[in-house]
A and B are shown apart, each in its own frame.
Chain A
Amino acid sequence: MARNAVEWGQTPPLPATHYVDSRIYSSSEILAEEREKIFARTWVIACHESELPARYDYRTYRHPADKNLVVVRGDDDVIRAFYNVCPHRGNTIVYEPAGNAKHLLCIFHTFSFDCRGDCVGIPREKAGYGDRLSKGDFGLRAVRTEVGFGGFVYVNLDDNAQPLGDFIGAALDDLLPSLDTESLEVFSFHRAIVATNFKLWHDTNSEFYHDYMHYHNRQTSMLQPGYFERRYTAFPNGHARVGDQVVNYEAYAGFKSRDLSFPGMVLNGWKMVDLFPGMTYNLRGSSLRIDTLVPLSAGQTAIEFRGLGLKRDTPRERASRVHDYNTIWGPFGRNLHEDLLGVLGQGRALERGQTYFVHGREEDATIHDEIGMRHFYGEWGRRMGRSPSDPFGDRRTPAVSAVDLEEILV
């Protein structure tokens, strides 16, 4: 039965952990707080080490806490990250997204910096600063950097944050044989800017109930043995893993079984892990897809997609992985367009007054259970100090209690 305005605004008849207030997806105030309390304090993937193969290579990165970084491979092969901002007058130092330079030079007044972030050149230094300031006062702002879990360059703006390994915990353990046995290499990159909130993309990656949207997934996965036995496992810090499945690619007319896989993974296997607050490892068939998110505003998100194979791939093997990746995941792939269309539609609906989003499916933590999203919002609420279902304290339902959050952390 259709509902009137009063009924439309009523809270769903579910525990407060099982739905969220739609304003968490549209409020600029919420996003500003997310940048401060979440993104500025958690580990996020900036790039992959294969994007910096040589000493002095650099790669820029727009950090989701609204900072511009530059990642540099040093003369000692150590990868470091810095604010991509000249400490002198605030100019962007590196403009190109990637390159190689022994010294990073600010074009404005030609201050220069080495690969370790030290200022090594100030024009007419003594003439202007005398003994009051020197190069030592103009070092770049270093950002904590660790490389791991498949060679990904993780950064954290918080100097006092827990180590990356503690943050990830055991969430990626099942994937490690595939990630760390051999070196990986990025073969595809694209950035989709979509009018939607960043969490809506992570939500999509955190639930499989939307497989009904994908003709490809219905044919190759949902109708195949084992699909409904896939189970979610929740990990501390908001991460979640979904159980494995073997995909039957040949169930989609014109597709063939993949002829390549990854170390430690069965042919045509599928493993997926969602990391808080917005990263996804999606290892499927012959290629690994990594999603990372940068909120540009509450209603606009840059989603970066990377496709990876093995560094030792022969040209034929690489071409095979690239082909497999693009059939479902490139900007012209069968699945990705559908997923992006879905979150774009959510973004449009938000503009028109959606009140609640329901995360209420309970199916014993199996594939269509929405526990992945509930688990994410448990961590989100803990870090934000707000209830996802009542973020401004003006709904008629009680805020999520500490007990509720414990229940989500299965």
Chain B
Amino acid sequence: MVTIGGEEAHRLAYQDLTQLVYSGVLLLDAKDFTGWLGLCAEDFSYAIRAWSPEIRKDITWLEHDLEGITTLVQHLPRHNTDQSVFTRHATVYTVNLDEGQNSATIVSAVTIYRTELDGGATSLFAVGRYHDRAVHSGGRWRLRSRELRLDTRSLGIGTHYPL
């Protein structure tokens, strides 16, 4: 883990990487998927997984590369989708810079609420953790991969949106 108060480069990297996670949350909340994809590297991969104690296996519920997730969000207007609003609350727990300081792993807790359009009732949709990998290139940090590991497995009607 990066030591706060260590080298200035580390401190700045910690800030930038934390900001990368939080910026992504705000863009996803705003359904600005183009903006969110702009935070991702060309070799980005995205997955949602959970452990199933029912079948005692790790299960993958969504897995795409950048092209796949881009196509997914581009198709959204063509699908019938519940238009409830998702609000993500993330807290960055750990940031680990790799040896060369050009890549990093970030673990964040995430809680996702769903607010219905009709009446504005809010309910808890899911809890889990973002396991992110980031890469530094072109003078900025970008997401190389995100694995959302969900604790919540009862997801009601589900959703078409990346979380």
Contacts and interface: CB of A to CB of B under 8 A. Distances in A.
Contacts, number: 102
A324 to B, nearest CB: 11
Interface stretch (A111-119, A185-193, A357-365, A393-401): A185-193
B104 to A, nearest CB: 26
Contacts of A194: 156-157
Contacts of A190: 52, 59, 61, 153-155
B156 to A, nearest CB: 6
A84 to B, nearest CB: 14
A200 to B, nearest CB: 13
Contacts of B75: 215, 252-254, 334
Interface string B135-163: 00000000000000000011111111000
A51 B159 contact: no
A338 B59 contact: no
Contacts of B156: 192-194, 340
B154 A187 contact: no
Contacts of B79: 215-216, 334, 337-338
Interface residues of B, number: 31
Interface stretch (B17-25, B63-71, B88-96): B63-71
Given A254-B68, A338-B80, A189 B55 contact: yes
Contact of A337 (B55, B72, B158): B158
Nearest to A186: B55
Contact of A188 (B59, B72, B154): B59
Interface in A324-362: 326, 330-334, 336-338, 340-341, 344
B7 interface: no
A322 interface: yes
Nearest to B50: A190
A76 interface: no
Contacts of A254: 67-68, 71-72, 75
A97 interface: yes
Contacts of B52: 188-190
Contacts of A215: 75, 78-80
Interface residues of A, number: 35
Contacts of B72: 254
B81 A337 contact: yes
Contact of B154 (A97, A192, A213): A192
Contacts of B63: 322-323, 326
Contact of B157 (A188, A326, A330, A337): A337
A282 to B, nearest CB: 17
A187 B159 CA distance: 21
A332 B60 contact: no
Contact of B160 (A188, A193, A322, A337): A337
Interface in A47-89: 51, 59
Contacts of A216: 79
Interface in A301-336: 322-323, 326, 330-334, 336
Residue from B57, B63, B155, B157 having most chain A Cβ neighbours under 10 A: B157
Contact of B60 (A191, A252, A322): A322
A189 B60 CA distance: 10
A337 B53 contact: no
B62 interface: yes
A252 B68 CA distance: 12
A331 B155 contact: yes
Given A254-B67, A254-B71, A336 B54 contact: no
Contacts of A384: none
Contacts of A332: 48, 61-62, 158-160
A253 B53 contact: no
Contacts of A189: 52, 54-55, 59
Contacts of B67: 254
A98 B55 CA distance: 7
Contacts of A253: 71, 74-75
Given A326-B62, A334-B79, A337-B82, A192 B53 contact: no
B60 A326 contact: yes
Contacts of B61: 188, 190, 326, 330-332
A336 B52 CA distance: 19
Nearest to B67: A254
A96 interface: yes
Interface of A: 51, 59, 96-98, 186-194, 213-216, 252-254, 322-323, 326, 330-334, 336-338, 340-341, 344
Given A331-B159, A340-B157, 13 more contacts: A98-B54, A186-B55, A187-B57, A188-B61, A192-B157, A194-B156, A194-B157, A215-B79, A322-B63, A331-B155, A334-B160, A337-B158, A341-B82
15 contacts: A98-B53, A98-B55, A190-B59, A190-B61, A190-B154, A191-B153, A192-B158, A213-B80, A323-B63, A331-B155, A331-B159, A333-B158, A337-B81, A337-B160, A338-B80
Top 9 A-B residue pairs of the complex, sorted by shortest distance between their CB atoms:
A254-B71, A331-B158, A340-B157, A330-B61, A332-B62, A215-B78, A97-B54, A331-B155, A337-B158
